[in-house]
Amino acid sequence: MSTTQLTSTLAAGAAPKARPHRPRWGLIALLGPVTAFLGVFFFMPLAIMAVFSLLEPGLYGGVVWNFYADNFGRILGWANGPIEEFDPVYLGILMRSLRIALITAALCLLVCYPVAFWVSRLPPRRRNFCLFLITLPFFASLIVRLYAWVLILRPSGALNGLLAWLGISDAPVGLIYTEAAVLIGLVYIMAPFMFLPLYASIEKLDRGLIEASYDLGAGRITTFRRVTLPLTLPGIIGGSILVFIPTLGNFIVPSLLGGAQVLMIGNLIEQQFLQARNWPFGAALAMLVMSVVLGLLMLYVRATLRRQATGTPGKEAQA
Amino acid sequence: MKAITPEAPVVEIRRAIKQFRTPEGQRIAALAGIDLSVGAREFVTLLGPSGCGKTTLLRTISGFEALDEGSIHIQGREMNRIPPHARPVNTVFQSYALFPHLSVGENVGYGLSVRGVPKRERQQRVGEALEMVGMNGLQQRSPGQLSGGQQQRVALARAIINRPALLLLDEPLSALDRHLRQTMQRELKSLQNELGIAFVFVTHDQEEALTMSDRIVVLNGGHIQQQGKPTEIYDRPVNAFVAEFIGESNRFRGTLEAGDGGLGRLRLADDEPLVLRRPAQSATGELQVMLRPEQFCVHPPCADRYASLKGRLTAKAFVGRDLEIILETRGGQPIKAALRGHDGQTLAGRELGDEVALWYAIDAPHVIAA
């Protein structure tokens, strides 16, 4: 929620405006409920997590109200006590999760960009039908759709059957419980989140600008690099953020398609909360993921502000 | 057609045919066998109503549309298979198509930069091009900060910076207000003189075509209806479409009978015959004759070379320089006339419904279709 709000303000390049000094009761009435809701159900749990991450885990679950730095120490390296020890495996899982999220975003981009271009050039009726098709998966449960992938990828599954029938392989290929399987599942689930913002910015792209570029002597590749890409960059960035952040915290796909082989940070956090009953350590891991995401977003904001400061116009194409 | 320029043509289009398919599956001929050549320093205007094929013709020259049949040569080189970016032509687009993510300077320099012209030379030439359109010094602005007229100038500067052999202009003035349009018309014309290159200008505005062109090509239904100097097109339209499309006209259909002294009488269905000097080709029989509204007067300088038409005054409107009136003949044909000075003052005093006589020189009626 907060990240999408952030990106939409960024995308709009909203400048602060001078406001008249009078209470706007209408505005307060409209925003009040949502603020109260988020305050109770978003910020409070977040605050609890932040506090828990610095408390000592109780022996049988729960917390002991002592300041305790070793939750982070186990991950980042300063814990060497008798109970809690630094283990590089946690950072390893975080790095793997970042890598998988990055590759997922890149693959989604690669898959969706040409499709979004194609769809945006269709006649209106077929275009709307395609957009409907893209939102169609949302009508079925995520878990059901992932089990379908299990059926496809497992050794006796559809894909292996196809490979055997085609004579490409005679023994079942190990597809499921690999990083590749996790990537397939993630790309499959996240692609619509890449597609929609991408489509929005590609559809707005004035075809006349591409023609102008050809007309001025630029070939296809130069035109793509210097006109199409910069003008669809807001969609690329928006889609990448929408894919990258949920992917980083995803634990359903790796637990169904990755098994114990491909553990992501989401699985680790889930284990800490539900199986190990070590809430403080789970909270510390969650805080770490959040700070990584916030750090990356800050870098992006700074880059955007710098771009605006150098006077590069970022306005939308006029008709 | 007359050869207007002695120099070798910069564009030569032969038997160009282009069809489009409608969503319903019908085939529509946008170009139905066009032959056209453009001289090296010529200002040619493609004029016609929307859907006449003028924009398609322009886009086949720039390379955005491929011909189904026929050939197109630019500077003697066949261009049928050459993509737009490799053709020595540039276009000023109707919507200007300025790159919104680039500054004015970067927009103008785009053509040079994709060709790898070094930065220093580029900056100098960008300055020169902007100077030509009176926009130097605004390099750092973003296109969104410019007015319509300024964007127009930037689009022009961007199109001429590659020194094309031919500049194509696709209704570039249609989005500007009337005053600015007239200024830009003059500036375009002088820019063309300065650059010494050919302009092919697309418009549906006849006034624009008449003021700027060396030659007007009137298109309709994928065919060239007529081409020639503006005065030729205006004074001697070859068919009813051209007569109707350029300026206002009154048309009379009838049978020509020979009279004495080189005069003829056009016998009309319900009206008195129209007296005119018999055309040189001595056509007789069924034909159409055109008279422009401004060819009428109320006080003829001499009676023997003038003839008159009578009718009832049904409308009059003072539009500034002229008094525009509509006369209805006994047979019910409306006749539009634009009267000036003393003529106008005379008729301004008359009431609607009055019987009025309008005079025209007997050699003014122009035969448009035999």
> Cα separation of B269 and B267, whole Å?
7
User: Can you give the pLDDT at residue B341?
Assistant: 86
Are B130 and B109 in contact by the 8 Å Cβ rule? The answer is no
Q: What are the pLDDT digits (tens) for B149-207?
A: 899 999 999 999 999 999 999 999 888 888 888 889 999 999 999 999 999 999 988 88
DSSP labels for A154-195?
STTSHHHHHHHHHTS-SS----TTSHHHHHHHHHHHHHHHHH
C-beta of residue B297 within 8 angstroms of C-beta of residue B360: yes
The nearest alpha carbon in chain A to B98 belongs to A209
Q: Which residues of A touch B86 (CB under 8 A)?
A: 217
Q: How is residue A85 written in tokens? A: 């020890």
- Cβ density class A118-153: b for 16+ within 10 Å, e for less: ebbeeeeeebeebeeebeeeeeeeeeeebeebeebb
To the nearest 10°, the Cα dihedral for B148, B149, B152, B154?
A: -100
Best mutation target among A213, A214, A216 (most B Cβ atoms within 10 Å) is A216
Separation of alpha carbons A288 and A71, rounded Å: 11
Per-residue model confidence (pLDDT) at position A7: 45
| Chain A contact set for B85 (CB, 8 A) | 214-219
Q: Is the pLDDT of residue A157 over 50?
A: yes
Identify all chain B residues contacting A230, using CB atoms and an 8 Å cutoff: 101
3-state secondary structure of A251: coil
Here the ipTM equals 0.84
Residues of B in contact with A208 (CB under 8 A): 93, 95, 97
Mean pLDDT of all residues belonging to chain B: 89
Q: Extract the tokens encoding B215.
A: 């030659």
Residue B348's pLDDT is what? 84
Percent of chain A clearing pLDDT 70 (strictly above): 89
Beta-carbon separation of A211 and B83 below 8 A: no
* pLDDT tens by residue, B4-38: 445 689 999 999 999 988 878 788 889 999 999 99
CA dist., res. B12 & res. B166, Å (int): 12
Residue B280 has pLDDT above 80, yes or no: no
* Minimum distance, in Å, between the CA of residue A241 and any CA atom of chain B: 22
In angstroms, what is the C-alpha Rg of chain B? 25
Higher-pLDDT residue of B121 and A155 is: B121
**How much is the pLDDT for B1?**
44
E-state strands within chain A: 55-57, 63-67
Q: What is the DSSP string of A75-124?
A: HHS--BSSS-B--THHHHHHHHHHHHHHHHHHHHHHHHHHHHHHHHTS-H
pLDDT at A154 over 90: no
Q: Judge contact between A245 and A100, C-beta under 8 A.
A: no
- Which pLDDT value is given to residue A5? 44
Q: Which residue of B has its CA nearest to A221?
A: B114
B97/A211 CB distance under 8 A: yes
What is the count of residue pairs from A and B with beta carbons less than 8 Å apart?
85
Distance CA B331, CA B1 (A): 39
Q: Which one, of A263, A142, A259, A265, lies nearest residue A192 by Cα?
A: A142
Residues 9-38 of A with CB under 8 A from B: none
Confidence band, pLDDT 50/70/90 cuts, at residue A4: very low
Topology (CATH level 3) of domain A89-275: MetI-like fold (1.10.3720)
Q: What does the pLDDT average to over A60-80?
A: 85
Lowest mean pLDDT among A146-150, A246-250, B99-103, B348-352: B348-352
Answer yes or no: is pLDDT of A284 > 90.
Answer: yes
Inter-chain CB proximity A216 and B101 less than 8 Å: no
Which two three-digit tokens encode residue B118?
A: 């070094």
Interface test with B, best of A205, A215, A315 (most B CBs within 10 A): A215
Distance CA B302, CA B323 (A): 22
Q: Which residues of B touch A313 (CB under 8 A)?
A: 100-103, 142-144
- For residue B141 the two structure tokens come to 């602005």
pLDDT of residue B4: 47
Q: 3-state DSSP call for residue B167?
A: strand
Looking at the partner chain, which of B93, B98, B115 has a beta carbon nearest the beta carbon of A217?
Answer: B115
Q: What angle do CA A22, A25, A29 make, to 5 degrees?
A: 150
Give per-residue burial for B324-340: e unless 16+ CB within 10 Å, then b: bbbbebeeebebbbbbe
B158/B111 Cα distance (integer angstroms): 7
The pLDDT of A137-145, averaged and rounded, is: 90
Give the pLDDT confidence score for residue A15 in this predicted structure: 44
Q: What is the pLDDT of residue B331?
A: 84
Strand ranges (DSSP E) for chain B? 11-21, 27-38, 43-47, 69-74, 77-78, 89-92, 166-170, 198-203, 215-220, 223-228, 250-258, 263-268, 274-277, 285-291, 306-318, 322-328, 334-340, 355-361, 366-369
Query: How far apart are the CA of B183 and the nearest CA of chain A, in angstroms?
Result: 24
pLDDT beyond 80 at A248: yes
Across the interface, which of A222, A231, A316 has its CB nearest the CB of B114?
A222
Cβ-based neighbours of A85, under 8 Å, separated by 6 or more: A74, A79
Identify the CA nearest to A227 among candidates B101, B191, B85. Answer: B101
Q: Is the pLDDT of residue A314 over 60?
A: no
Contacts of A219 in chain B (CB under 8 A): 83, 85
Alpha carbon of A112: minimum distance to chain B alpha carbons (Å):
23
Contact A217 B143 (CB under 8 A): no
pLDDT at B28: 85
In order of A104, A151, A154, B67, the CA distances from A159 in angstroms are 21, 9, 8, 47
What is residue A138's predicted lDDT score, i.e. its pLDDT?
Answer: 87
Query: Where are any strands of DSSP class E within B93-156?
Result: none
Chain A 196-235, CB below 8 Å of chain B: which residues? 206, 208-209, 211-219, 222, 226-227, 230-231
- Cα–Cα distance for residue pair A73/A183, rounded to 1 Å: 30
CA distance B235 to A90: 89
Question: Both tokens of residue B172?
Answer: 């570039």
Walk me through the domains of chain B, giving residue ranges and CATH numbers. 9-244 (3.40.50.300), 252-367 (2.40.50.140)
3-state SS track over B194-218: HHCCEEEEEECCHHHHHHHCCEEEE
What is the rounded distance in angstroms from the CA atom of residue B210 to the CA atom of residue B247? 10
pLDDT tens for B84-98 read 999 999 999 999 999
| Residue A19 reports pLDDT greater than 70 | no
Output the six-digit token pair for B206: 């006849």
Contact A313 B144 (CB under 8 A): yes
| Distance from C-alpha of A79 to C-alpha of A241, rounded to nearest angstrom | 33
Q: How confident is the model at residue A44 (pLDDT cuts 50, 70, 90)?
A: very high
Task: Tell me which chain A residue has its CA closest to the CA of residue B65.
Answer: A211
Please say if the pLDDT value at position A3 is more than 70: no
